[in-house]
Amino acid sequence: MEEVKKISETEAIQMLHQYNDDLLPKEFGIIGKTWTILLLIIFLTGIYCYTNQLREGLAITGMRDFVFWGIYISNFVFFVAISLVGSLMTAVLYLMNISWRAPLTRIAEIIAVAAIIFAGLIIIVDMGRPDRVVNMFLHGRIQSPIIWDVMVVSTYMTLSILLLYFPLLPGISFCRDRLTDIPNWQRRMYTILSLGWNNSPEQYRIVKRAVTILSVMIIPVALCIHTVTSWLFASTYRPGWDSTNFGAYFVSGAFLVGCGGVAAGMYLLRRFYSSYEKYLTDDHFDKVGKLLVLLAVVYAYFSINEYLIPAYKMKGEEGHHLTELFTGYYAPMFWSVQFFGMILPIAILLFKKGRKPLPMFVMAVLVIVCAWFKRYLIVIPSMSFMPLQELPEEWKHYTPTFPEWAITCGSLAGALLIITFFVRFFPIISVWEIAEERGIPSGTIFKHLNKNNEK
Amino acid sequence: MEENKNKPERKNQERRNFIKSGFAAAGLALTAAGLGKVLSGKEDSDTGEKINVLTTDGKVMEVDSGHIRKSETCCVSPSEARTGIPGKKWVMVIDLSRCKHALKCQHACQKYHHLSGMNVWLKVFRMQDAENTAPYWMPKPCMHCDKPPCVKVCPVSATYKRSDGIVLVDNQRCIGCRFCMAACPYSTRSFNWEEPQLLHETSGATYSPETGFPQKKGTVEKCDFCPDLLRQGKLPHCVTACPNGVFYMGDLNDDTVTNGDETVRFSQLMKDKSGYRLNDIIGTEPSVYYLPPVDRLFPFKDPVKEANIGKEE
């Protein structure tokens, strides 16, 4: 990647042609189609089960008065967590001027957008009266952390969509101009979405400026979304939630799972589009791997604060809660999640061989899966230890029901569908940002990308 | 002090009369406005029939029934229910030394609030603070905290604190997020997970947060201190149903509480019997006070035996 310094005009044009050919969205092969159909089936099953839930109430879930928040809420926390990666990859690395981020930003940003959209949807799924969602605007109370969450999540969603969309404009216009045998609706979609983009230097100047502003704005908002989400728990008196460490603990865990999401996405793209190998290089995996280790270590630090210090005291209900996690009912899940989701990835990714694409992918998937169950362990056990006796036994242990799983999996499939459709129709790696990263002068890029100049 | 000791006895007698005569005139009650009218005695005409009533300063007086206004027995609208009963600050005292787990309080509560399914507003727990301490029964209604964490977190003000100290839920506004259930350190709230099975008589009733029915699917509910009864000058169902006088209800401004049989000074009761509040350390300032389970009226019996005794009665 250090080939740069001076590139002649002809060389540059050649490179750009190459990028275009490599990075334009392509039709899916058989695997891509099967994947899409599979996701659609899971998603539609979720929708079907949700219509049942609308009719019959939340009684079709495993939640009861004892454990009244279940996997909908832990899934919500997961979505919010993974969406933080957008701000990390796009904004933090951008403002730090880290050059290798260029092919990763859009992957990170589409994960962020898909996740935050479904975070918003799944929280409505959890509501007993989704028909009264408007009450939050009619009667909203600023004292309630839920209202804070509504505000920051919607702000983050807006900023994320803009941060995805602005740098995408050249890409959309490029699809509009260069993709030949596409159906009419697709061309129309590109025409509308490209907003009359014609690659003028002025437009690039505006987009770059907008991205800089958005990058600065999105960092505090990103910290807010997950901090406020942690406050939904930390503002209560329950053991395991009543913690001042929760904000930092949630944010650090969020960066870890988001980074894992990007690593997994990188691997899959590279696996199924061989032309991407030139852009998502082993070197990128190496860098992301190191970042993952850093984030996992930070997360380990906050986990120690979260669990070991209360465990030193073993105070009353808190002690009971921790005992259940460490050696009781939840122990197998708790230790698996700590080991596979944090310790093992640190151990493997510390070695250069561990940061090759395939082991990276395996570690990334482990991080993501463990992150999901980690949120289960954060949400559910805290509700299980109150000295209530008059409830039926099955209310004390929460087991998610089939419709509940179906709806949850449906939401995960929905988020993956957004990402899948995006990859199908838009360039997931930004041509102009790659070109800039590799030192091609902006003037050449604009000229080349502009179809009028070409003709 | 001397004087005070005699007082409860006399009041007790007066209170009984009041219950017999005043409350027996079913559905009649004094509203604050009505009392003003009674005392001025200008507008209403006499009927000749005399009724005993309890005034706000705890005295019994005889008034003509014509001076008594019938309060609206039911259904204060959701917006009206947001303001408390003027001049009142309700408190409840639960005497643990008298509870024998008869569960009459709970049955009455379930019956009169038309609670179906598993939603139980008033739970009675078997408590044992440590391995070597004695077990005891503890009825647990909503604490109606003065600093209610549930009200703090509600995003839509569906649950609210009134001027008379009562915390209510408006199930026409509740969005069912269950954040209040998470916030409540006493776990007193229930959720309508499915469509509530409404009994005949309630299905057509007009909803009021003061009565809590008809219940609605997907909303939170809880013990409400029976404000509809308090408004009519009556005692909550659990208080009247308890055969052992465990529950005292009263007005902190008056400094009197009554369990139906005896009316006592609240402050004196707290002083004499070392009243305390549940988990007071967390600063929620409950309106429910407990009297410790000392000098018990009944020996503690295990639930199975207790259930059988209940049936024999």
Which residues on adjacent β-strands are paired with residue B258?
Answer: B249, B263
Fold held by B80-291: Alpha-Beta Plaits (3.30.70)
**What pLDDT, on the 0 to 100 scale, is given for residue B56?**
56
> In A, which residues are within 8 Å of B282 by CB distance?
237
**pLDDT tens for each residue of A148-174:** 999 999 999 999 999 999 999 988 888
R_g of chain B, CA atoms, integer Å: 20
Nearest CA among A305, A422, A301, A282 for reference residue A361: A282
- Cβ–Cβ below 8 Å for B176 and A64: no
Report residue B230 as tokens.
Answer: 């308090």
Verify whether the Cβ–Cβ distance A127 to B182 is below 8 Å: no
3-state helix, strand, coil in chain A (%, to 5): 75, 0, 25
Nearest-by-CA chain B residue for A140: B156
Res B11 pLDDT > 70: no
CA of B173: which chain A residue's CA is closest? Answer: A135
Averaged pLDDT, A381-391: 69
What DSSP element (H or E) covers B90?
A: strand B90-95
Q: For residue B101, give how far its alpha carbon lies from the nearest alpha carbon of chain A (Å).
A: 13
Q: Do B191 and A128 touch (CB under 8 A)?
A: yes
C-beta atoms of B155 and A146 within 8 A: yes
Chain A nearest-CA distance from B263, in A, is 32
Beta-carbon pairs below 8 A across chains A and B? 125
DSSP secondary structure code for residue B160 in this structure? E
CA B68-B71-B77 angle, 5° bins:
165
Of A445 and B163, the one with more pLDDT: B163
**Which residues in chain B have their CB less than 8 angstroms from residue A320's CB?**
none
In whole angstroms, give the CA distance from residue A298 to residue B225.
Answer: 49
Q: How many angstroms separate the CA atoms of B52 and B17, rounded?
A: 8
Q: Considering only CB atoms, which chain B residues are within 8 Å of A237?
A: 149, 183, 185, 282
Closest to A96 measured CA to CA, from A202, A178, A219: A219
Report pLDDT for B200: 59
Task: Give the mean pLDDT of A65-74.
Answer: 91
CB-based contact B69:B268 (threshold 8 Å): no
In this complex, do B176 and A127 lie within 8 Å of one another by their Cβ atoms?
A: yes
Rounded CA-CA distance A283/A355 in Å is 9
For testing the chain B interface, which of A55, A64, A132 should be mutated: the one with the most B CBs within 10 Å? Answer: A132
Higher pLDDT, A118 or B202: A118
Q: Looking at chain B from residue 182 to 211, which residues have their Cβ under 8 Å from any Cβ of chain A?
A: 182-183, 185, 187, 189-195
Mean per-residue pLDDT, A62-77 = 92
Closest Cα in chain A, distance from residue B240 (Å): 23
Residue that the structure tokens 């999105």 belong to: A218
Q: Work out the percent of chain A whose per-residue pLDDT is above 90.
A: 58
- Distance between the two ends of chain B, CA-based, in angstroms? 40
Instruction: Round to whole Å and give the CA distance between B239 and B247.
Output: 5
Asked if A68's CB is within 8 angstroms of B178's CB, the reply is yes
Torsion, Cα of A399, A401, A407, A413 (10° steps)? 70
- Given this model, what pLDDT does residue B34 score? 41
Which residues of chain A does B182 touch, with a Cβ-Cβ cutoff of 8 Å?
A: 68-69, 232-233, 236, 238, 241, 383
Taking the mean position of all CA atoms in its chain, how far away is CA A404? Answer: 22
Q: pLDDT tens digit string along B138-190?
A: 999 999 999 999 999 999 999 999 999 999 999 999 999 999 999 999 989 99
Q: What are phi and psi of A280, to 5 degrees?
A: -100, 80
Whether residue B214 is preceded by a cis peptide bond, meaning omega within 30 degrees of 0, is yes
Task: Give the pLDDT confidence of B266-289 residue by residue, as tens digits.
Answer: 999 999 999 999 999 999 999 999
- Which residue of chain B comes nearest to A388, CA vs CA? B125
With contact defined as beta carbons under 8 Å apart, do B178 and A68 qualify? yes
Residue of A56, A136, A391 with shortest CB distance to B175? A136
Tell me what ipTM this predicted complex has: 0.89
Encode pLDDT of B193-217 as tens digits: 988 887 656 566 788 899 888 889 9
- CB burial readout A107-130, b (16+ within 10 A) else e: bbbbbbbbbbbbbbbbbebbbbbb
Residues of A in contact with B153 (CB under 8 A): 143-146, 235-236
B138 touches chain A (CB under 8 A): no
B181 and A CB contact within 8 Å: yes
**Can you give the pLDDT at residue A6?**
62
Does the pLDDT at position A370 exceed 70?
yes
Nearest chain A residue (CA) to B283: A237
A236 neighbourhood in chain B, CB within 8 Å: 149, 153, 182-183, 185
Chain A residues within 8 A of B158 when measuring between CB atoms = 135, 139
Buried b (16+ CB within 10 A) or exposed e, A5-27: eebeeeebbebbeebbebbbbee
3-state helix, strand, coil in chain B (%, to 5): 30, 15, 55
In the predicted structure, residue A397 carries a pLDDT above the cut 60: yes
d(CA B183, CA B187): 9
Q: Parse chain B into domains and list their residue ranges.
A: 2-67, 80-291
